[in-house]
Amino acid sequence: LIRFQKGQTTTPPPFEIFFCFGEEWPDQKPKEKKLITVQVVPVAARLLLEMFSGELSWSADSIPLQISHPDLKDKMVEQFKELHQLWQNQQRLPQPGPAPW
């Protein structure tokens, strides 16, 4: 993620996690042909990638699924949102010129 943010690579790091149930995997069959697959997208990883790439496109209310009770991970997501808001506000401020000596 740091290399992507610094422009040292053009490929963003993968953050999706795939699980396959009831069959061997990986094998020659693509995951779309498996009977049961689950894709998990860690919200914190997606937030970081979108924040550093400038593509943060979803609102705070658009997380489609939340099963657990609020815990440390949820607080971390809120902190990432606050960090992103601060970063956006800082980007809008005029940058100071060189200090006079």
* pLDDT confidence of residue 82: 84
Structural domain that includes position 2 = 1-58
pLDDT digits (tens, 9 = 90+) for 12-59: 888 889 999 988 888 888 888 888 889 898 888 888 887 777 666 555
Q: Which residue has the higher pLDDT, 28 or 87?
A: 28
* Percent share of the chain, pLDDT over 70: 72
Question: Is residue 64 over pLDDT 60?
Answer: no
Model pTM? 0.45
Report how many domains make up the chain: 1
Question: Is residue 93 over pLDDT 80?
Answer: no
Decide if 97 is inside a domain: no
Decide if 26 is inside a domain: yes
* Percent share of the chain, pLDDT over 90: 3
Decide if 13 is inside a domain: yes
Decide if 28 is inside a domain: yes
**What is the per-residue DSSP string for 43-99?**
HHHHHHHHHHHT-----TT------SPS-HHHHHHHHHHHHHHHHHHHHHSPPP-PP
Decide if 73 is inside a domain: no
